[in-house]
Amino acid sequence: MPPATDLREKAAKLFKEAADLVEGKDAESLDDEILTAFNTKMKEATDADAEFVKASEGEAGLMTLKERLDFYHGKAKGSPVPWNRFSIGDEDRLGQKSLGQAFVDSETYKELQESEALSSNVGFKTAPFRQETKAATDIISGTSAASGDRLGGGQALILPDFRPGIVPLPQRPLTVRALFSNDTTSGDQISYAVQTAFDNAAAAVSEAAVDGNPSGAKPQSSIAWSRRTETIETIATWMAATRKQLSDAGQTRSLIDNQLRLMLDLEIEDQLMNGNGTSPNISGLLDRTGLQTLDLSAASGDRANLDGIRTAKRLVRTGAARAVADGVVVNPIDSEEFDLMVDGEDRYRAGDPFGVLGATSDAPPIWRMRRVESEAVAEGTAIVGAFRVGGTVFEREGITILTSDSHSDFFTRNLIAVLAETRLGLAIYFPAAFVVVTLKDWGAGS
């Protein structure tokens, strides 16, 4: 198989060829011959991208979906993807609706509207609504489209209303949860094995002799495991809305997408980092024994923190887990300090702060590891780890939306309670795959 970079360039070349086929044309001017050629070229491009992702597995600098789309769009169109083109609440151009849009399009909301409960004083409580989600691996796809789709090919990189080009995919900022692998569970508890030690005694062994010489004995290695059980916990919040507000689909969608979901995400992020394991809190990453630590508080030099993050990456690789670090989580204040580091000639170590091509809305990587800015991590602390292989977020129930006026005096005040909740837990298989770094004080001016 060619090197991963060759596959990436191959995919970029194919995407550009596809874009050239429809450049300057609208949907009405595209005949079947052009569409067939376009779909074929897009299928070849997405297949090449899938091969690139497969060839890059295990590499610390593995590109995210958004980074790949930025790269391909830049190659095809000469500019990065316009990520902010669509506001929160618009239907995802991959066919995946936002939570708020899915709710207002659901039978639950339609039945509520048709019941006229929102325009009367009749008490009500809706049935739970849960959104069916798509796995991230389904985003770039070469599967066939549904029957009747004129564009064909099921190309996830094409806008449904056919605005030729690479899709400007709306995407939320990278979060701690996005670093971990994600899975579902049907139980209220997760039982799994945790690696506690790694004793590698593998060695070259001489041939055994027949004269009684004890040569030839093979050394024994061992890996120690312990059993751990996590409890699935509920994370929830609610907000008050007026009946008139809830009867307006746009306001309802915005309330769910812009407020309720954000509130849940912030609490989930804090729980994944700091949950103490005492119900109803989940056991977060920092609640685990066996994490590696690195104290830079007494280190010298203005590069101490930057060098220390690289050392932490090495500790993940050489520790008991023998893993490859793929992410670093820092407080936004510390993240800013990393970006503001300069060399002896006052050049920013992170590169041109005004650069555009290839830029993303996420913080740029540190030592080729994805960087997540999170207030769930205390200022002065950074966490470096092999998140993808080291742990999994298990979701028992996706975000559920319920509405009711059966709260306090809401019935008499025409107010509605809109509740959002989810159930999940965190499994950490390899605690040694994570290093908690105590950063050196940034000094005056920080």
Structural domain contains residue 115: no
Structural domain contains residue 117: no
Residue tagged 């989580």 (tokens): 329
Structural domain contains residue 212: no
Decide the pairing of beta strands 434-438 and 415-428. unpaired
Residues 431, 362 share a domain = yes
Pair of tokens at residue 436: 């908690």
The H or E element containing residue 207 is none
Distance, CA of 217 to CA of 248 (rounded, Å): 77
- CB burial of residue 80 (10 Å; 0-12, 13-18, 19+): middle
The CA-CA-CA angle for residues 31, 32, 37, to 5°, reads 105
Residues 326, 239 share a domain = yes
The H or E element containing residue 246 is helix 243-247
> Helix, strand or coil for residue 9?
helix
Distance set, CA 409 to CA 240, 404, 414, 439 (Å): 12, 12, 9, 51
Residues 247, 165 share a domain = no
Distance set, CA 229 to CA 90, 235, 312, 422 (Å): 40, 19, 28, 19
Q: Provide CB contacts within 8 A for 149, sequence distance 6+.
A: none
Residues 158, 270 share a domain = no
Q: What is the three-state SS of 373-421?
A: ECCCCCCCEEEEECHHHHEEEEEEEEEEEEEECCCCCHHHHCEEEEEEE
Distance set, CA 335 to CA 143, 228, 440, 441 (Å): 40, 33, 13, 13
Amino acid identity of residue 391, one-letter, is G
Structural domain contains residue 204: no
Phi, psi of 117 (to 5 degrees): -65, -30
At 61 the pLDDT is 55
- Is the CB of residue 124 less than 8 Å from the CB of residue 243? no
Dihedral of alpha carbons 137, 69, 155, 258, sign: positive
Query: Exposure string (b/e) for 317-327, b if CB count within 10 Å is 16 or more?
Result: eebbbebbbbb
Phi, psi of 273 (to 5 degrees): -90, -45
Q: Which domain holds residue 365?
A: 229-438
Residues 157, 263 share a domain = no
Distance of CA 221 to the CA centre of its chain: 36
- CB burial of residue 284 (10 Å; 0-12, 13-18, 19+): buried
Annotate 62-80 with DSSP letters as a single string: PPPHHHHHHHHHHHHHSS-
Could you tell me which residues are beta bridge partners of residue 424? 233, 395
- Could you tell me the CATH number of the domain that includes residue 234? 3.30.2400.10
- Is the CB of residue 80 less than 8 Å from the CB of residue 70? yes
Structural domain contains residue 206: no
Structural domain contains residue 376: yes
Number of domains comprising the chain: 2
pLDDT in tens, the chain (446 residues): 457 778 888 888 888 888 787 776 655 566 777 777 887 888 888 888 878 877 776 665 566 665 676 677 667 666 554 433 333 333 333 345 677 777 777 777 777 667 666 666 556 566 666 665 443 322 222 233 333 333 333 333 333 333 333 333 334 466 899 899 999 988 899 999 998 887 888 888 888 777 666 677 888 888 888 899 999 999 999 988 888 888 887 778 877 877 888 889 999 999 999 999 999 999 999 999 999 999 999 999 889 999 999 999 999 999 999 999 999 999 999 999 999 999 888 888 887 787 644 445 568 899 999 999 999 999 999 999 999 999 999 999 988 888 888 888 888 888 888 888 999 999 999 999 999 999 999 986 44
At 405 the pLDDT is 84
Residues 245, 322 share a domain = yes
Structural domain contains residue 181: no
Structural domain contains residue 393: yes
Look at residues 69, 96, 72, 95 and name the one whose alpha carbon lies nearest to residue 83: 69
Count of CB atoms situated within 10 Å of the CB of 139: 19
For the entire predicted model, the pTM comes to: 0.64
